[in-house]
């Protein structure tokens, strides 16, 4: 790595060498025991059984069930397929209330089924569904509420349970970013009719590509298993409509070895998060999102909020500077699903009822963490953030634009 930057003119943004010779990525995969993984893959090749319910898929499902304390796990090829199967197996129809501050797959999975995602605002602190706003959006066409545990932050589960129970709605959770998390000692996977998980390469437990539906409802799980494999109940016996959402053996083997290293990944993330907390503590207008009391996270997402009024610099300009320094920070989840197509054209007026969402998408920035992120790199990254804030006016002038948010 190049020497630390201590002058604005040294920043890569203005033609200098970047602070990091190799890019620092958000979501760089954690890798478990490679020798163990190679052995599992070789065994699969020796069996010539690479998909169609080989032994690794049920083993992976059992390990997930034991880890999360749930009765049933239906592994799928990805989290999007898991969400679509969860919605169909739960009998969801018509409108589904969802947050807009989420990965667009949450909304797309519903729309692909012919369902209508109804975008709801979020609470200022947690950035998860606002139960009061949820209740105001319920119509005769509403059949379900889909809460997203954003960055692993739990939704207000008791409030959502009470509302959906009172109105007779299905409650589902998107836990793609929340594997292994708990609230007040209870696994997040144990709430609602079902929760969906993602084992994409960027997640704390990864199967390269993969997902799962987890539930304590045996009938729902059985319907989901049929739907996962074309509706086959046995060879030559198709008993329901289905699709191809199977997880293959190589991905399942990757998931097994990743899950076996779960505690190590969490401890690494925790140490990285603590290092960020120390290094960012005295920088005005830059706040690290931290867990609330009673919440047990995996610290897989390092998210900062940039307050332009206090820091003198916008989130977007900070991202531009970091990228010039080879820090590939991400604006998860800008600009919000409601401003993406097809939703921006279908419901152009929806932004008016999403003031907290509109505020949040201009402020948050995800920073690198995981196995590859060393503490020296974290300190250097935070030094850059400090330098940018201390010299916000000069940077804004040299960039030829304002450093504060309009209005």
Contact 73, 303 (CB under 8 A): no
C-alpha–C-alpha distance, residues 111 and 358, integer Å: 22
pLDDT digit string, tens, across residues 297-317: 999 999 999 999 999 999 999
DSSP string across 303-316 = EEEE-HHHHSS-HH
The span from the CA of 246 to the CA of 218, in Å, is 19
Q: Give the integer Cα–Cα distance in Å for 45 and 127.
A: 45
Average pLDDT, the chain: 95
Among 120, 198, 124, residue whose Cα is nearest residue 160:
120
Alpha-carbon gap, residue 229 to 18, rounded angstroms: 49
Task: Report residue 3's pLDDT band, with 50, 70 and 90 as the boundaries.
Answer: low
pLDDT in tens, 32-68: 999 999 999 999 999 999 999 899 999 999 999 999 9
CA distances 92 to 89, 114, 126, 169, Å, are 8, 10, 26, 9
Q: In this model, does residue 111 exceed pLDDT 60?
A: yes
Residue 278 has pLDDT above 60, yes or no: yes
Cβ partners under 8 Å of residue 45, min gap 6: none
- Which pair of structure tokens corresponds to residue 221? 């799980």
Whether the pLDDT of residue 406 is over 80: the answer is no
The whole-number pLDDT of residue 403 equals 41
**pLDDT band at 15, cuts 50/70/90?**
confident
Tokens of 119: 């975008």
At 85, the pLDDT band (50, 70, 90 cuts) reads very high
3-class SS of residue 119: strand
pLDDT band at 395 (very low <50, low <70, confident <90, very high): confident
User: Greater confidence, 8 or 358?
Assistant: 358
Span 212-229, average pLDDT: 98
- List, in order, residues 6 or more apart from 172 with CB less than 8 Å away: 83, 86, 87, 90, 92, 144, 145, 146, 147, 192, 193, 194, 195, 196
Q: Which domains does the chain have, with CATH numbers?
A: 9-29+262-329+368-398 (3.90.1150.10), 34-260 (3.40.640.10)
Above 60 in pLDDT, residue 404?
no
For position 32, what pLDDT does the model report?
Answer: 95
Model pLDDT for residues 160-215, shown as the tens digit of each residue: 999 999 999 999 999 999 999 999 899 999 999 999 999 999 999 999 999 999 99
- Alpha-carbon distance values, 177 to 26, 127, 137, 286 (Å): 13, 14, 25, 23
């Amino acid at each position: 790595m190049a020497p630390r930057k201590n002058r604005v003119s040294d920043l890569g943004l203005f033609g200098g060498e970047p602070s990091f010779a190799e890019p620092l990525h958000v979501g760089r995969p954690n890798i478990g025991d490679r020798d163990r993984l190679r052995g599992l893959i070789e065994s699969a090749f020796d069996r010539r059984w690479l998909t169609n319910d080989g032994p690794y898929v049920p083993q992976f499902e059992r390990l997930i069930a034991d880890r999360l304390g749930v009765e049933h796990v239906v592994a799928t090829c990805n989290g999007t397929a898991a969400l679509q199967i969860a919605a169909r197996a739960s009998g969801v129809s018509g409108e589904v209330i969802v947050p807009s501050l989420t990965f667009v797959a949450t909304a797309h999975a519903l729309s692909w089924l012919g369902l209508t995602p109804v975008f709801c605002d979020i609470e200022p602190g947690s950035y998860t569904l606002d139960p009061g706003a949820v209740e105001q959006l319920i119509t005769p066409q509403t059949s379900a509420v889909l809460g997203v545990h954003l960055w692993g932050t739990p939704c207000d589960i008791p409030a959502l349970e009470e509302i959906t129970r009172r109105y007779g709605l299905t409650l589902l959770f998107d836990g793609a970013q929340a594997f292994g998390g708990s609230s007040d000692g209870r696994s997040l996977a144990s709430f609602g009719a079902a929760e969906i998980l993602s084992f994409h390469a960027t997640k704390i437990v990864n199967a390269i590509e993969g997902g799962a539906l987890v539930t304590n409802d045996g009938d729902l799980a059985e319907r989901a298993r049929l739907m996962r494999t074309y509706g086959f109940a046995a060879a030559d016996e198709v008993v329901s409509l289905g699709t191809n959402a199977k997880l293959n053996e190589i991905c399942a083997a990757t998931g097994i070895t990743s899950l076996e290293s779960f505690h190590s990944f969490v401890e690494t993330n925790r140490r990285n998060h603590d290092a960020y907390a120390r290094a960012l503590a005295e920088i005005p207008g830059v706040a690290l999102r931290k867990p609330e009391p009673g919440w047990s996270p995996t610290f897989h997402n390092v998210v900062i909020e940039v307050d332009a009024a206090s820091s003198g610099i916008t989130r977007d300009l900070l991202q531009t500077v970091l990228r010039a320094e080879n820090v590939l920070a991400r604006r998860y989840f800008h600009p919000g699903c409601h401003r993406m197509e097809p939703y921006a054209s279908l419901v152009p007026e929806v932004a008016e009822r999403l003031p907290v969402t509109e505020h949040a998408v201009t402020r948050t920035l995800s920073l690198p963490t995981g196995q590859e992120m060393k503490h020296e790199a974290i300190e250097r990254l935070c030094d850059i953030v400090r330098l940018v804030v201390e010299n916000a006016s000069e940077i804004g002038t040299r960039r030829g634009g304002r450093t504060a948010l309009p209005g």
